Amino acid sequence: MPNRQDASYPRIDLKKYAVIPVWYGCNSSCTICMLSGVGDRLGTVDPDAFSRLITALVRDGGYDNLILSGAEVTTFEQLERYVRYAASFGHFKKIQIQTNGRRLADREFLKRVVDAGVNEFFVSVHGVGETHDSITGVAGSYRETMACLDNLAGYPVNVISNTVLTRTNYHGIVPLLGELCAGPVSEMQLWNFFPMEKTDRRGLLVSLSELWAMLPPLRNAIGRSGKPLVLKGFPDCLAPEAPFFVDSDFPLNLIQDDFWSAFAGNGFGSCVHKGDCSSRECWGLSSGYLERFGDERERLTPRDGRGAGGSS
């Protein structure tokens, strides 16, 4: 059955988070950016709008944790002000920023961000060395991001790493996650690539069979760390055993509608077993995946009412 809960591998529960993307400037030029083609249509959330959103979330009471994101939120000049305002309510247990970590290589800047109230960091690392740099489009970005992680080790904060699986970094995922699990991260996330269009025009998608073949060496690389690897945006019925977890939960995302219109181009939700499956959270396969690799009818299996299902 899909591997979701295991007390020996504590993980964040994204259902308890709300995301406010506040800013769309960035200091990188990632080949995998989900905002390419739409980011310039999304505006900055001004202080009044931010106040209204935070007040509404606090009044609602359904979300214990807050995420501030954007393109790269650490390049937002008012980040510390916004964090302090959100923290002033005393409502949010976690205030997380989603970041490439480059500016947090600056210890003084990191200290200001932590002092403002950020106590959780979701840091993107997409490869080792030049692989990461080629994906971000910035020479030296890997060095800066790893310096960020080194700096975070000196604070009582929670750190989650974020890696998007693509054809570019597939062969380096095992050493990358082996390195990350030795650092301050409590949880690693490996995300399916979202083409943000109906086809995989750039040929970046990795097949489920390749992902499955990668799990045994990954287990050897990270298993003794006791840290979980969460697979995001993949079919629920892959169902690997710990330390791997398939989790399709996402936070409430208060982004503008233009983004969701672009996101719909991925065409997620396709599965030949959909009519026989009890899962209501699985994203199935994207249209780009179907075009490249087919419907995987032999690999995917429907979950029954008890959540049974699996892959081989």
- Give the per-residue pLDDT at 260: 82
Give pLDDT tens digits for 131-146.
999 999 999 999 999 9
- Give the per-residue pLDDT at 7: 75
Confidence of residue 4 (pLDDT cuts 50, 70, 90): low
- Give the per-residue pLDDT at 39: 67
The CATH code of the domain at 14-268 is: 3.20.20.70
- Give the per-residue pLDDT at 281: 81
**What is the spatial order of strands in the sheet that 244-246 belongs to?**
244-246, 229-232, 187-191, 158-164, 120-124, 94-99, 65-70, 17-23, 252-253
pTM: 0.94
d(CA 19, CA 155): 23
DSSP labels, 248-278: ----EE---HHHHHHHGGG-TTB-TTGGG--
Give pLDDT tens digits for 17-55.
999 999 999 999 999 998 877 766 778 999 999 999 999
Q: What residues does each domain of the chain span?
A: 14-268
Give pLDDT tens digits for 160-196.
999 999 999 999 999 999 999 999 999 999 999 999 9
Confidence of residue 307 (pLDDT cuts 50, 70, 90): very low
Asked which of 167-171, 179-183, 237-241, 294-298 is least confident by mean pLDDT, the reply is: 237-241
Mean pLDDT of the chain: 93
Give pLDDT tens digits for 187-224.
999 999 999 999 999 999 999 999 999 999 999 999 99
